[in-house]
Amino acid sequence: MRLAVLASGRGSNLQALLAAIDAGTLPARVVGVFSDKPTSGAIAIAREHGLHSVALKPRDYADRVAHDEALFSAVADVQPDLIVCAGYLRIITEATVRRFEDRMINLHPSLLPRHPGLDTHARVLAAGETEHGASVHAVIPALDAGPVLAQVRLDVTADDTPESLARRLAPREHALLVASVGAIASARARLQGGAWQVDGRSL
């Protein structure tokens, strides 16, 4: 399965996918890494691995639609079977989401439908919640609102901070993303008409 990975940050989830591919446990290939941040860790990791990468700064484009069109035409060029948003921090325009319907997933650091959007760790603490986690979901035009494929959970402790939550969640997110992409690559999970079918059953 040909993967295009989109990331704005450190790229630890990209690294986890590459490690699983190298270990032979994930039947996939990363055919391109795409970012809005040329200086991101994700782009550095792509270069270290000799992967095709494209980073386009939003401020070089007239508006969000023009930036999206440029970045996603580069994505389309690599003919991905699946687009994996792993910490891509920009909202993707509706036309682009529709163009790649049923072929795009996102990793989000909360137990969706709770806490779509940014700053999820701080918001979990501010709400006094005792449970946090991460979700892999299909990308639809509404932000972080697509059907969820899988989640991991984490107990929040009294002394947690946004940083400690992020740190403790990271390895679980990596495992969740690798398992989710693995399920799709092995055809155990399939997105059809915006809905998940897993092991032949609708979620």
* Total residues binding ligand GRF (CB under 6 A): 14
Contact 9, 173 (CB under 8 A): no
Site for ligand GRF contains 173 (CB under 6 A): yes
Q: Which of 49, 52, 108, 115 is catalytic?
A: 108
Nearest to 30 by CA among 41, 15, 44: 15
Structure tokens at 95: 């036309």
Shortest Cβ 43–ligand GRF spacing (Å):
11
Contact 39, 11 (CB under 8 A): no
Structure tokens at 179: 């398992």
Site for ligand GRF contains 86 (CB under 6 A): yes
167: enclosing H helix or E strand: helix 162-185
Q: Which stretch binds ligand GRF (CB under 6 A): 6-14, 31-39, 46-54, 125-133?
A: 6-14
Of 6, 28, 104, 109, the one binding ligand GRF (CB under 6 A) is 109
- The smaller minimum CB distance to ligand GRF, of residues 7 and 185, is found at 7
Can you tell me whether residue 108 is helix, strand or coil?
Answer: strand
Contact 41, 10 (CB under 8 A): yes
Site for ligand GRF contains 13 (CB under 6 A): yes
- The smaller minimum CB distance to ligand GRF, of residues 66 and 168, is found at 168
Residue pointed to by tokens 């990209």? 14
Shortest Cβ 89–ligand GRF spacing (Å):
7
Site for ligand GRF contains 10 (CB under 6 A): yes
Subset of residues 25 to 44 that bind ligand GRF, contact rule: CB under 6 A: 42
Q: Is 142 exposed, middle or buried (0-12, 13-18, 19+ CB in 10 A)?
A: exposed
Q: Which stretch binds ligand GRF (CB under 6 A): 26-34, 93-101, 102-110, 140-148?
A: 102-110
- Report d(CA 6, CA 3) in Å as an integer: 10
108 labelled catalytic? yes
Q: Is the peptide bond before 171 cis (omega within 30 degrees of 0)?
A: no
Which residues participate in catalysis according to the annotation? 108
> Could you tell me which residues are annotated as the binding site for (6R)-10-formyltetrahydrofolate?
64, 89-92, 106
Binding site for ligand GRF (CB under 6 A): 7, 9-13, 42, 86-87, 107-109, 134, 173
